[in-house]
Structure 1
Amino acid sequence: MSYYFLAQIKINDEAEYQKYIDKSDAIFRKYKGEYLAVDNEPELLEGKWKYTRAVLIKFESHKDFKAWYDSDEYREILAHRLKAANCDSILVKGF
């Protein structure tokens, strides 16, 4: 069963956020993460949007997601994202 990590991100410090971006791709691939969407201008259909980016990443299993999210490599770069941006993230279970 696939799992989908959805992050809504409001970037406040582009330079600090870039430190996260520079290393994130290799770490996602290592843990079987696959970008499905990265959008800096998503179309708002309902409600209010206070973010500057939406990101959707697919993982083949909950185990793969947890291995990525809890890894030392990801925790190291996560600090840059959390310092540079306000983020709301959820994990969605697929069918």
Structure 2
Amino acid sequence: MTVYAIAQITIHDRPRYERYAARFLPTLQPYGGRLLAADEKPQPVEGSLTCQKVILLAFPDEAAFRAWEASPDYETIAVDRRAATTGHVVLVQGLG
């Protein structure tokens, strides 16, 4: 079943984040991951929003997401994301 990773982040070190972002997409492809949305001006509909950027990823299943997240290619670049941003990532199950 498809799973979605939703990241809500605030960027504190733009050059380091851009270095991460430039290498990000190729890490998804071997795991069937897809970037569905990335918005630096998300519009809150209800409640307040404390992040600067929202990212939505899709993976074929949780095993694919976990394999991508633990992959050496992603771990190598994730160091930059972790150093350049604060926020959180949640994994949600798709329907059907």
Specify the TM-score bucket, using the shorter chain as the normaliser.
over 0.9
- Report the equivalent of 2:44: 44
TM-score w.r.t. length of structure 2: 0.94
Q: 2:78 maps to which residue?
A: 78
Amino acid at match of 2:32: K
- Per the TM alignment, residue 74 of structure 1 is displaced from its structure 2 partner at its CA by 0.7
Query: TM-score normalized by structure 1?
Result: 0.95
Q: Which SS does the other structure have where 1:43 is aligned?
A: coil
Q: Which amino acid aligns with 1:52?
A: Q
Equivalent positions of 1:9-20 (< 5 A) are 9-20=9-20
Which structure 1 residue ranges, 4+ long, deviate > 6 Å from structure 2? none
Q: Alignment partner of 1:89: what SS?
A: strand
Equivalent-residue separation in structure 2 for 1:62 and 1:85 (angstroms): 24
Partner of 2:54: 54
Q: Aligned with 2:91: secondary structure?
A: strand
Q: How far did 1:86 drift?
A: 0.5
Q: Which runs of 5+ in 2 are unaligned?
A: none
Helix, strand or coil at the partner of 2:73: helix
Which amino acid in 2 is paired with 1:62? E
Percent of counterpart pairs with the same letter?
Answer: 32
Q: 1:88 aligns to what? A: 88
Aligned pair count reads 95
Moved more, 28-37 or 3-12: 28-37
